[in-house]
Each structure stands twice: as C-alpha cells, then as structure tokens.
Amino acid sequence: MIDINLIRDPQTREKVIESEKRRFKDTSKISEIYEKDKLRIKLNFELDNINRKKNELNKKISKVFKENKTNGKELSQEYVRELKEEENKSKDLEIELVKTEKEINTLLKSVGNIIDDSVIISKNEEDNGLIREYRTKREVKNYKNYTDLMSKYTHSVSGSKIIGHRGYFLSGQIARLGMALSQYAIDFLEENDYTFIQTPVMMRKEVMSRTAQLSDFDEQLYKVEDDLYLIATSEQPLSALHMDERLTDSDLPKKYCGQSLCFRKEAGAHGKDNSGIFRVHQFEKIEQFVICKPEESKEYFDKMISLSEEFYKSLDISYNVVSIVSGEFNDAASIKYDLEAFFPNANKFRELVSCSNCTDYQSRELEVRYGILKENNKKVYVHMLNATLCAVQRTLCCIVENYQEENKIIVPEVLRKYTKFDEIELN
C-alpha cells in the first residue's frame, strides 16, 4: 500500500490524486481516506486525554487509601464512579478507532502505487510504447500454430476430461524440452548472481492479502482448505520471504531466482487463447525477484528487463520490449515493461515477460524495512521488483512456432546440452 503521509500532506496528496487519474481510477477515495485519517487522529487524541484522566483518578484513589482520611470511603467511591465513566468512554472510542483504522486500511489498499513520470497515459494497450526490438537472422518458417505442432505431446482432450477447461499433459520430447528450458533459465540467473529458491505453492490468506490485490482473490487465486491459497506467481511468496524484518546495507541487494508451479483461475480471460498451453491454469515459471535500497530500484529495473532480453536473444527469438500504458497496471507497479515475442503463425508479438518496479508498495504492507531516517525517525522500506524470466509453457509455444521445420521442431542450440537431442519428431 502507499504511505498515508502522502495523503496527509496537501502537495503530495495532489500527486496521489493525479496518479489515480492516470490509472483511470475513482479519486474520491483519496478525500475519504484524508477525512477518516483526521477522525483517527482526533480519536487517538481523545483516547490519550481519557487515559491521562484515568491515571490521575487511579492516583487519587490510591492516595485516599494511603492517607486513610475519614471521608476516604466517600471520596474513593466518587473517584471510582468517575473512573468507570472514563473507562466506558474509552471502550467506545477504542471500538470506533478500530473500525476507522480498518476502513482506512481497506481504502489504502485500493489506491495504486505512484505512477512513474515516464509512463504513457492511456488505457488502450495499442498505445504501448516500443522501447527496443530484436530480430533473428534465422529463416522462420510457418507451417502450423503451436497448438497443432504440440498436439501429439499435450493431450489436451485427456487433460480437459481430468481437470476441466485448459487441462493438459506434457509428454515425451516436448516435456523434456520444457524441463531443459526450466533448467537453462535457472542456470542463466545463477550465472548472473541470483540465488536459486523453490517457493511454497500455498500461502495463508493473511499473508497473501498483504502482497496480492483484492481483485486477485476473485479473478486469479484458487482457495484450498484451512484458509490457504495457491500462488499465482512465485513473486507472492518471495515478496513475503523477509516479512516483518529489517534489512541492512550488508543484506542488500537480495536477488532471487524463484522457481515454482503457478496456479491461476484466469477468470478474466474468457475467450482468450482457449486452445493449446499458452494460457493455462497450472504452469511453471522462473522469476526474477529483487529487493534493494530505494535509490537503486530504477537501476535494477533496467538490469532485470535487460537480463530477460539476453535470455530470449540466446534462444534467438525475435521480440519487442514495450512500455505498458498506465491503465493496464496492477496496483503495485509504478512502471512496467513487457517483452513480447514473435509468433509467426499469428504474425503477432505476444507477452512472455512482465517486468515491474513496485518501489515500496509491497514492502510497506509486508513491513520489510530498511534502516531508519534519523532526522525524523520515520521508517524506510526496501524496494521490490519482479520480472518473468521464463514462463515455461508459454515459451514452449513460442519456441515450437519459431523453430518448426516440416514434420519436426529444431531444438534451440543453447538447450541441446539439456535435452540430449537436437530435434523433435512430429509424426
């Protein structure tokens, strides 16, 4: 969530309102948060006064009994009556304060991160800005789409019978190609000083709610028993790995190569990519996740998207890097670049990588702190960034289309030491 001090200060409050407008969101909640925050301050002030009065009354009662005055009984009863009145007031105020704080937190969670000044203001993805491009020099042939090319190995009919819509198996050489892709992605990040980490695939709701936005619970996340949710990305558990910790200069940066199965309902994706394994409910993903000092996050954002580019260059697949428009962000991102790879059959570039700088939006909610500003004693939070390196099933779709020959798929050269074969037979 954002820092409430940004809403308290008139100048920065305007910045928050402007950022929400750039996201094409309702800005009335900013005023609502401001008014509720003023009420919270007032309630805290009243509670402090009541607590002081209660302390004074307790001292008076104690003094009466110590001095053993002749009228001590009457005095003490009067003080006790006053004390009970103040305690009742205190309870009522505490109930109102808890309610107000809960309302503020709910509203704060619905306010997005401050949009970076470089972001294109639009809610139409066709306005995404081209940052860079790469084109292979290989001859890319076009016989079939990825669904037809992999049908022998994906068993979509059987998969749908077993788990329903978007179900699949992976078998034989395509399964081994997927394993090769995963291992290569892990090795690639480890060679770039990332720490390999396999994450849990379930999270408690209380923790998940501190890293996923509320709309995800309906559109993306699967609930299992005992208030647990399946993760939609390893970013979620990785962001919570250092929850409630304070990290120092010597701890940072933390560069994680997260590997996990991911589970998504895809409730908002009806009619999109219904065939094949491009958009499925269960998939494997290798993720970059970086925790760094606040002043370093812009630099790491550039480094992370560049690493993803290096990875797809090594696979020799044509791609565009695009800056995503403001209306297409989730709440946590302040800036987002996608890498869109070329699919020859559709003659389209499609998203394989998303890279986001979430600044301190996630760390504030998760209480992952970085030192203290001594001059005003305010907490400082680390910055968190995430970037896909390889969503295995999607990347498989891209590879088979880009490396198809008649009746076979050529294995990209960098993957051959993992697969132990150079081509995949389609007959």
Determine if residue 414 is labeled as part of a ligand binding site.
Answer: no
In this structure, is the dihedral angle defined by the CA atoms of residues 315, 318, 321 and 322, taken in order, positive or negative? negative
The answer to whether residues 290 and 384 touch, using CB atoms and an 8 Å cutoff, is yes
3-state secondary structure of 259: strand
Determine if residue 207 is labeled as part of a ligand binding site.
Answer: no
Determine if residue 135 is labeled as part of a ligand binding site.
Answer: no
11 contacts: CB under 8 Å, gap ≥ 6: none
Determine if residue 427 is labeled as part of a ligand binding site.
Answer: no
Q: Compute the CA torsion angle 334, 235, 129, 19 (nearest 10 deg).
A: -20
Determine if residue 351 is labeled as part of a ligand binding site.
Answer: yes
| Cα–chain center distance at 13 | 24
Please state whether 57 falls in left (phi above 0), alpha (psi between -120 and 50) or beta.
alpha
The answer to whether residues 355 and 386 touch, using CB atoms and an 8 Å cutoff, is yes
Determine if residue 85 is labeled as part of a ligand binding site.
Answer: no
Would you state the structure tokens that stand for residue 330, as one six-digit string? 């989730």
Determine if residue 280 is labeled as part of a ligand binding site.
Answer: yes
Determine if residue 328 is labeled as part of a ligand binding site.
Answer: no
* Length of the chain (residues): 427
The answer to whether residues 286 and 178 touch, using CB atoms and an 8 Å cutoff, is no
Determine if residue 380 is labeled as part of a ligand binding site.
Answer: no
Cα(256)–Cα(236) distance, integer angstroms: 13
Cα(183)–Cα(185) distance, integer angstroms: 5
Determine if residue 125 is labeled as part of a ligand binding site.
Answer: no
Amino acid at 168: Y
Determine if residue 139 is labeled as part of a ligand binding site.
Answer: no
Q: Measuring CA to CA, which residue among 48, 142, 148 is closest to residue 343?
A: 142
Determine if residue 287 is labeled as part of a ligand binding site.
Answer: yes
Determine if residue 190 is labeled as part of a ligand binding site.
Answer: no
The answer to whether residues 346 and 145 touch, using CB atoms and an 8 Å cutoff, is yes
Cα(94)–Cα(102) distance, integer angstroms: 12
Determine if residue 396 is labeled as part of a ligand binding site.
Answer: no
The answer to whether residues 264 and 223 touch, using CB atoms and an 8 Å cutoff, is no
Q: Per the annotation, where are the binding residues for ATP? A: 264-266, 280-283, 351-354
Q: Per the annotation, where are the binding residues for L-serine? A: 233, 264, 287, 386
Q: Per the annotation, where are the binding residues? A: 233, 264-266, 280-283, 287, 351-354, 386
